[in-house]
Structure 1
Amino acid sequence: MSIEVISILVLFISFFALLLLKVPVAYSIGISTTLSLLLNIDRLPGITTIAQRMITGIDSFALLAIPFFVLAGEIMKRGGIANRLINFAKSIVASLPGGLAYVNVLASMLFGAISGSAIAATSAIGSIMTDRMEEEGYPRSFSASVNITSSTTGLLIPPSNILIVYALASGGSASVAALFIAGYVPGILLGLALMGYIAYVAIKKDFLKGERAPLRDIWNYFKKAFFSLLLLVVVVGGIVMGIFTATEASVIAVLYAAVLALAYKNISVKDFPDVLLASAKTTAVVMFLICTSMAMSWLFSFESIPALMSDFLLNQFSNPFVIFFIINIILLIVGTFMDITPAVLIFTPIFLPVVMELGMDPVHFGIVMVLNLCIGLCTPPVGTILFVGSGVANISVSEVIKPLIPFLVIMIIVLMMVCYIPEISMFLPRLFDL
C-alpha cells in the first residue's frame, strides 16, 4: 500500500474517529489534517505548513463580508425587525387555512434573507411564533418543524454567508454576485413547497383561520416593515448593478441595520458593545472553521484526492444523472454529521471538478450543494438548526422528529428539482449576464 493511500486513510479515519469522540469539528479537521501530512513530511515543516495554510486560507478580501453580515444580522435580531416582519406576513396570509404556519414560513424567509443567518431566523422567529401558534391549536412540535425547515431558506436567498464561503472554495469559478442572484428562485421555491405541505395538513386537521386583515392594516404593516425589506434591495441590487462589491455591501448592511435599529428604539448605543461581542464570538467560530477547512482542502490537492475522485466517478458511471445523484447522496450523508461551513469548504474542491467535467455550471452546483447541506442542518445528530429550533420551542428533539420527516421529504424533492432543472437556479444569473 502506497504512502499516499495510507495518508488518505489516516486523514478520514482520524477525522471520523474524532467526530465520534465529540471533538469539535474545527479541531477534528485540524488534527486529522496534521496527522495525515506528517506521514509525508517531517514534523517541523509539516506543522509549519498547516499553520501557513490556515492563515493564507482566510487571507481573502471577500471573507471580510462574513463578520459584517454576522454583525448586521445580530443588530437586526435585537432591533425589533422580526416583529415587524411577522406582523406584515400575518396581515397577508393569516386568513388562509393554517395561516399562522404560513406566517412562520414567510417571516423566516424574510428575516433569514435580511439577516443572512438561518440560526438567527430560527431563534428570532421561533421564539415569537411558537407560542402564538400554540394559542391557536397548533402542536408545538409542528410549529417547531415549520420554523426549523423554513429558516434554511435564508441560506439561499441573499445575502448569504455560506454562498460567500462557497465562492471562496470554488477558487473563483463562481462569483458572489452570480450566487446571490441564483439563490432567489430556489429559496422561494423551497418556501412555497413547504407552504404547500402546510396547506394539506391545515385542511386535513382543520386548523383555525385567522381574520382577514383589511387593506388599510396591510398597508400600515407594510410601511412599518418597509425599511427592513428595503435592505434586501439595497444590498443585492447594489451588488448586481455593480455599484459595490459583496464585501462593501456587508458594511453598508451594518450601517443600515444600526440606523434602523436605533430609529426603532429597540436598542440603544449602550447595547452595541454586547452586540459586537456576540458577533465577534460567532465570527471567531466561523473563521476558525474556515482556517482548518482550507488547510484540509489544500491537503486534498496535495494528495490529488479531487483528481482521484473525478477519475473514479467518471470511469465507473457514464450517465451524468447517476453521478449527480451519487454526489447528492454523499452530501446528504455528510450533512447529517458535519456543519455546513466545513462541508462546503472540504467537499467543493472534491466534487466541483467532477460536475464541471460533466457540464454543470459552478454557480448551479453551489446552489445545489448549499440546498443539500441545508437538509443536514435539520437532521440529527449534528443538525444545528434542529437543536436551536427545539430549544426555542422548549421541546425535546425526539418530539420534533416525527412531524419533521414530511418537511424533510419536501426539501429533498425540491433539491432534486433544482439539481436536474438547471433553469431554476440559472435563469436569473443568465438574465443579468452574471
Structure 2
Amino acid sequence: MASTLEQAQVKKGHPKGLYLLFMTEMWERFSYYGMRALLILYLTSATTNQLGGRGWTDGDAGMLYGWFTGLVYLTPILGGWLADNYIGQRRSITMGGILMMLGQFALFSEVSDMTFYLGLGLLIIGNGFFKPNISTIVGNLYEENDARRDSAFTIFYMGINAGAFLAPLVCGYLGETYGYRYGFLAAGIGMMLGQIMFNSLAQSYLGNVGKFVAKTAEEKAAPKKVLSKDETDRIAVILVLTVFVIFFWAGFEQAGSSLSLYTDRYIDRVVFGWEIPTSWFQSVNPIFIVALAPVISSLWINLASKGKNPNVTVKMALGMMLLGLGFFLMVGAVMERGGDVADASIKANIWWLVGAYFLHTLGELCLSPVGLSMVTKLAPVAYASMLMGVWFLSSFVANIMGGYIVQYVEQLGALTIFGGIGAFVIVLGFVLLAVSKKLTYMMHGRG
C-alpha cells in the first residue's frame, strides 16, 4: 500500500521533458516494430514471392526471430554500463538511434546476405545504447517517492505503443504491398525523424538531466563504495522480479511469431469482404495500450491518493494472470476450428484473437511500465542504467525461449502450447502473490 510520504507527494502534471521522451521513444518503437511486424513473414515467404522472401521454415525463422529479438534486450546491459561510466545517457541515445537507422537502411538495401545480417547486428547494438538510457532519464525527472512516477512510465508507455501501433500499418502496408524492403525503409526514416527531434529539443526540454555520466572521474578513481544492506536488498528484488517476468515475455512475444503465423493461416481475417493484412494485427495490442494507458495511469494515481495503491509485486502478479487468460482464449480459437488436425481451410473467428490481445494488453500495463518505474526507484543511482539493462535481460532470455516455442508449436500443436503457456503463467502469478510481502519488505519503503 502507498506510504504516508507517497500520499503527501501526489502531484498533478508532469515535467515537459516527459513528452519529448514520449515522442523520441514513439519514433524508435515505430522503427523497431515496423521491422518486427514484417520479419517473420519475410523470412518464411518463398524466394519466388514478388514481395521478396527468404524461404525459411517456420522453425528456422522462429529461431532467428527469437535470437534477434532476444539480443536486442541483451545489449542494454553493456549500453547502460557505458552510459553510467563514460558516455552519458543522452549521448548514448543519439549513438543508438543512428546505429538503428543505419541498420534499417542496410535491410532495405537487400544487397546480399551480409547486409541482411549487418542490418540486424546494427539494430541489436544500437538498441543497447538507446533502450536502457531513455527509460532511466524518465525516472530521473522525478524525485524519490514521487507517486507520479508509475503514472509517468504509463504515459511513456503510450509513446512506445503509439509507435508500435503506427508501425505495422505503415511499414506493414508498404511491405505487404510493394515489397518487404520498403517496409524496412519506412522504419529507418522513422528512426531518423526521432533523432532529429530529440537532438533539437533535448537541452530545452530536459536541461542537464541525463547529460553527464552518473559517476564523476573522482568517484571512478575512488575506492569502490560498499553498498548498504538496503541497497543490496533492493537489487535482489530487481533480480528476483526479472526472473519472473522472463516467463511473461516468453508468452507475450509470441505475438510476433507463433501468433502471427497462426493468424496468417487459421484466423478468418476477412471483414466486410476485405482481408486484413496479417502484419496489421501487430497494431491491435498498441491501440489497446494507447486507449487503456490513461485509464490505468489515472487508476494508480487515484489509488495512491487514497492509500490503496497495490504494491509492485501485486500489480505484476495480476499482469501474469491476465496473460494466461488471453492464451486460454486462443485455446478457444483452436477448438473452434476442431483442433490442430482440422482442415487448413477452416478458420477461427477473429474475436478470439482480438480478445486475447485485449487481455494481454491489460497484463502488460500491469507489469511492464510498473517494472520500469520499479527499477528506477530501487536501483542505486550509480548503477541505474546498468540495472535497467539487467531488467531488459528478462526479455533477452524470454525471446530466445519464444523462438524455441515456435518450433514446439509445429511439433506439439497450438492447442497444447497455448494452453500450456496460459496455465503456467497463471500459476507463476499466484507464486508471485505468495512472496509479495517479503519482496515489498526488501524494497525498504520504495515499493
Q: Same fold (TM over 0.5)?
A: no
Q: Normalization by structure 2: what TM-score?
A: 0.30
Q: Normalization by structure 1: what TM-score?
A: 0.30
**RCO greater where, 1 or 2, for CA within 8 Å and sep 6 or more?**
2
